[in-house]
Amino acid sequence: MPATSSTEESITKIRQIVRENLRLTVRSIAEHVNINRDTVRKILTEDLDLRKVCAKMVPKELTEEQKQRRVTIFEDLLERQDDILGCIITGDETVAYQYDSETKQQIAQWMTQFRTTKKNPSVQIRSQNNGTELFDIRGIALYKFVPTGQPVNHAYYLEVLERLRERDGNDPNFFAKN
C-alpha cells in the first residue's frame, strides 16, 4: 500500500529523482518511491515548488510587412528591361532535423517558478542534415550537403562556387557574364 503522507525523507527522495530526470511523470515517481500519486503531486507542487512546462517548436513565419516588401522588390526586378534576373545567384543554408516523435506529456519537464522557459526541454534529435543551396532564375542551381564536422566558412563556400562553375561548363568568366 503506497504511503499517503509527505515526510522529509520522501521529499528528499523525490527531489533527487526529479533532478536526475526532469521528464518523469507523477505516476512514475509515485511508483518509484511507493507513495500515493496525490501525495507526490503535492510534494512536487507545494513542497518543491515545481510545475510541469512543455516546450513546443514554432516555425518562424514572415510578417505581412516582410512578405509585401519581398513582393515589391520582385515586381521591381521583373519590370526592368535588362536581364538582371539572369545574373543573380543567391543561396541559403538549410538545417533539417529529424526528431524522435514524443507526446507532449513525454517532453514536459518539472521547473521551479524562478526558472523560466528560456531553456527549452531537450528534444531527442535522431539526425541532423546541413546543406547549402544556390538558386538562379531557373531554380536550384546547386545543392550540397555539408559533411559532418566540416566548418561552413570561406573555404567551404569557395568549394561550393567551384562546383557551380564546373556545373556550368568550366567557364572562368561565368560569374562575370552571368
> How many of the other CB atoms lie within 10 Å of CB of 110?
24
Same domain, 88 and 173: yes
Q: Say if CB 23 and CB 108 are below 8 A apart.
A: yes
- Asked whether 51 and 111 are in contact (CB, 8 A), the reply is yes
Q: What is the pTM of this model?
A: 0.38
First to last CA, the chain: 79
Q: Can you say how many angstroms the Cα of residue 101 is from the centroid of all Cα atoms in its chain?
A: 14
Specify whether 98 is located in the same domain as 16.
no
Give SS3 for 58: coil
| Domain shared by 33 and 101, yes or no | no
pLDDT in tens, 12-67: 999 999 988 888 899 999 999 999 999 999 999 999 989 887 766 656 778 899 88
With respect to residue 73, please indicate whether it lies within any of the assigned structural domains: no
Q: In total, how many domains does the chain have?
A: 2
Rounded Cα distance, 132 and 36, in Å: 54
Is residue 96 within 8 Å of residue 59, measured between CB atoms? no
Angle at CA 90, nearest 5°, toward 166 and 99?
A: 95
**12 and 98 assigned to the same domain:** no
User: What range does the domain containing 20 cover?
Assistant: 8-48
Report if residue 145 sits inside a domain: yes
pLDDT tens for 145-170 read: 887 778 888 888 888 888 888 876 55
